[in-house]
Structure 1
Amino acid sequence: MDVQKMLEVRKMLEEKIAKLQEELKLYTSLLELLDKAIGERSFSTAAQVAKPEAVEEVRGKGGEVYATAEVYPNYLYVKFREPVRLDGLFKRFFLDKFLQKYREEDAREARQGTLKQEEVLRYELEGGEAEATAIKIYNYRTEDRRREILRVLRWTLEKVYSG
């Protein structure tokens, strides 16, 4: 590809990016307007309306509370007692090994067509880049899996907080 052609492609990409940025601004403004309208018509936010089915404490062997887990139909919301560093056991074992095993199982089922892609286990961390204050684990799917996740989380937090 000659330089002139590459410059034309570059210009086309820059124009596309500018157009997408404008579109993003529009959508962001629309979301802000919707949020404002919802706020004016409602006494509570959507997050406040959703009530957990159960709230469980993740306790260590000595009875100390490591985290609180709110159980919703499609996800767990776990708030840690204190921030968990993301450069140690929590990330290496709980996220990268344990939860990844479930993600891989679900992805395999999705490839085989027995599970929808949006039903694959995933998680989101809250907090900064170096530590997490909470985690949302979506699509735990079964009660056995939910119990196993909380059991392994308890073990992991016990090691993290004692270590």
Structure 2
Amino acid sequence: MEVQKLLELRKILEEKIAKLQQELSLYTAMLEVLDKAIGEKSFTTAAAAQQTAKPEAVEEVRGRGGEVYATAEVYNNYLYIKFKEPVKLDGLFKRFFLDKFLQKYRDEDMREARQGALKQEEVLRYEVEGGEGEAVALKIYNYRTEERKREILRVLRWTLEKVYSG
């Protein structure tokens, strides 16, 4: 083959690769939308079934001074955390605990679900209960391991200590 034909072939392949990469980006975005929709649907079905369950354990989330910040009811696949006092959703609790800390676990689980290592309904998710701009309780579904549960409660204690002290 002459050089001109090889260059034309190279150009065609580059264009095809670029088009396929665009398609891949579109399919990845669609997959994320589907994952979210599936998660929301399975969440409501699972939530209805879990309302009749009894907690396996109840743990208090205490500050360093011994004050009780929250009570955590531990169920097989979720935590139900009731705050002693309402927590504002415009500060550290939302920015750090929900949007950064819990989202990190959620992102890890979503990645595992896309790879097939985890079912979509096993992805960590949470639901905030409360009124206008504040939370009175928090449900964290699919914490999955004892180690993850301990880490969630440890970081929650630290966050509530900061929220309630200042």
After TM superposition, the score normalised by the length of structure 2 is 0.69
Report the counterpart of residue 25 of structure 1 in structure 2: none
Change (3 A) 1:110 1:48: closer
- Structure 1 spans left out of the alignment, 5+ residues: 1-45
Report the counterpart of residue 70 of structure 2 in structure 1: 67
- Cα distance in 1, alignment partners of residues 110 and 161 from structure 2: 30
After TM superposition, the structure 1 = structure 2 runs for residues 1-163 of structure 1, keeping only pairs within 5 Å, are 49-163=52-166
Q: Number of residue pairs matched?
A: 118
Structure 1 segments, 4+ long, off by >6 Å, are none
- Cα distance in 2, alignment partners of residues 160 and 141 from structure 1: 27
Q: 1:47 deviation in Å?
A: 6.6
| Structure with greater Cα Rg | 2
Q: Which amino acid aligns with 2:156?
A: L
Deviations 1:110-136 (A, max 9, x none): 010000111100000100130000000
Q: Percent sequence identity over matched residues?
A: 86
- Structure 2 spans left out of the alignment, 5+ residues: 1-48
- Cα distance in 2, alignment partners of residues 54 and 98 from structure 1: 23
SS at match of 1:92: helix
